Amino acid sequence: MSAQQPYSFFQSVERSFNKAAKFTKWEQGILEQIKACNSVYQMRFPVKRDNGTIEVIEAYRVQHSQHKSPCKGGIRFSDEVNQDEVMALASLMTYKCAIVNVPFGGGKGGIKINPKNYSVYELEKITRRYTSELVKKNFIGPGIDVPAPDYGTGEREMSWIVDTYSSLKPGEIDAAGCVTGKPVSQGGVRGRKGATGLGVFYGIREVCMMEDVMKKLGLSTGVKNKTVVVQGLGNVGYHSSKYFREGGAKVIALAEYEGAIMNPDGLNEEEVFQHRKTTGSILNFPGATNLANSSDALELECDILIPAALENVINGENAPRVKAKIVGEAANGPCTPEADEVFLKKGILCVPDMYLNAGGVTVSYFEWLKNLSHVRYGRLEKRFAENQNTELLQQIETLTGKTVNEKERKFILQGPDEIDLVQSGLEESMITATREIMAVWNSNPEIPDMRTAAYVSAINKVATSYAELGIFP
């Protein structure tokens, strides 16, 4: 809470929830149960620093909802971590999972440290101790609560967690499913890294396929030849740009914190990434024009604007100058409530973060399923599918007397690999979620925007599952 922001993060999530709850039929008691954080575990433990001193570490794990098991949500290492933030992020995870039909409750964890101030050895000790504290209180496990990476954590920390968990639970056959975001060698799944960016592309592509929505925005259907501006060339921004370019759109501008570049003929994200790696800046990319300020990119004339860097970058001040027809929230919280109001007045469609950037958690779900089934995706069906396709193509060629070219033959014959199945599962999840949110929005003209429709969709699903559990007779 601050003078500028009179609500804590958790309270602001509750406010968004309340705004959407008005458009549902559920009684107040059910709504209160959905909003509440079911379990909050606040812990302190000591760690011996490399210099011999002892430091007390503050850490949290919150399980917002157990309407489905296990709970799911990342672990954040940041000196900004506090209980309110972890509770807010855990509740957002409940709604995000519900929207994309991932059968988990929401969870989140945090350790209040700046990882840059600790050696790798110290970080390993902290991560392992945190895991053992979770084990002691039964706050982690493939059927209980499954963490994942978040700010300041990655594959390395997930490997320490699975190793600590497995050693404390000898013989637990599904131990690998106690955490996701692991390296492939430790039970991770192929396709996790690019999943959020790919999910952003699938979500926006589905919106662009909706004729009525495009008509209202004055756009043609499909993403082909649409102009796209992306802010942030990190994991999410890079992969969003890549999939939009491969899908036939034109990424006309890219922005990083040191500046932005523009080329109306389109930019190739990999070339820009390599240029930035070599020169230390996105600026002066061959063939592109530099923009005076990085944030100017947000105000360019384009069809689709993808903020994929930080929160609050589009607000009451600059939203009136946004010229995009669609804003796709790839980052978490890039548009403020004031920006939402401006978009509403200007007829800009804002596709909300809670659903659009759910690709990561969707693929985490696939990783967990892989761990429980103890088999790589595609291992059982790949050769069978290839043999079947070969036979089928042979029959067709014999019957028609025509043959396909080598490129087509390769595509038709190949059986699915793990990455193919993961990506097609993600595509299915994003398409279904988009259609469900749009159906909710279309069912009630009073629902003001897609963000509220997404919340309504989430509330209906969680409430239905509570009602079906028989908790509220």
Q: Which residues bind ligand NAD (CB under 6 A)?
A: 196, 231-237, 255-257, 294, 308-310, 330-332, 357, 360
Angle between helices 120-136 and 155-168 (to 10 degrees): 40
Q: Which amino acids are annotated catalytic?
A: 108
Kindly state the DSSP code that residue 141 receives in the 8-state scheme. B
Alpha carbon 294 to chain centroid distance? 24
| Least distance in angstroms from the C-beta of 368 to ligand NAD | 16
Q: How far apart are CA 324 and CA 66, in angstroms?
A: 39
Residue with tokens 């969707």: 362
Q: Which is nearer to ligand NAD, 183 or 415 (CB)?
A: 183
Q: Which is nearer to ligand NAD, 178 or 233 (CB)?
A: 233
Q: Which is nearer to ligand NAD, 21 or 111 (CB)?
A: 111
Q: Which of 143, 148, 26 is nearest to 75 (CA)?
A: 148
Q: How far apart are CA 63 and CA 87, in angstroms?
A: 8
Q: How far apart are CA 112 and CA 51, in angstroms?
A: 20
Q: How far apart are CA 291 and CA 260, in angstroms?
A: 5
Task: Look up residue 49 and give its two tokens.
Answer: 């620093």
| Least distance in angstroms from the C-beta of 85 to ligand NAD | 13
| Least distance in angstroms from the C-beta of 244 to ligand NAD | 15
End-to-end CA distance of the chain: 38
Residue nearest to ligand NAD (CB): 234
Burial of residue 443 (CB within 10 Å: 0-12, 13-18, 19+) is exposed
**Sheet of strand 304-307, all strands in order from the earlier edge strand to the far edge:** 289-291, 259-262, 250-256, 227-231, 304-307, 326-328, 349-351
Q: Which is nearer to ligand NAD, 126 or 363 (CB)?
A: 363
Q: Which is nearer to ligand NAD, 329 or 340 (CB)?
A: 329
Kindly state the DSSP code that residue 333 receives in the 8-state scheme. S
**What one-letter code names the amino acid at 379?**
R
| Least distance in angstroms from the C-beta of 347 to ligand NAD | 26
Q: Which is nearer to ligand NAD, 75 or 447 (CB)?
A: 75
Q: How far apart are CA 313 and CA 414, in angstroms?
A: 44
Q: How far apart are CA 20 and CA 453, in angstroms?
A: 7
Task: List phi, psi (to 5°) of 172.
Answer: -75, 110
How many Cβ atoms from other residues are within 10 Å of residue 8's Cβ? 17
| Least distance in angstroms from the C-beta of 363 to ligand NAD | 9
| Least distance in angstroms from the C-beta of 370 to ligand NAD | 18
Q: Which is nearer to ligand NAD, 166 or 332 (CB)?
A: 332
| Least distance in angstroms from the C-beta of 445 to ligand NAD | 31
Residue with tokens 């070219």: 405
Residue with tokens 């972890």: 86
Burial of residue 38 (CB within 10 Å: 0-12, 13-18, 19+) is middle
| Least distance in angstroms from the C-beta of 440 to ligand NAD | 22
Q: Which of 237, 412, 419 is nearest to 329 (CA)?
A: 237
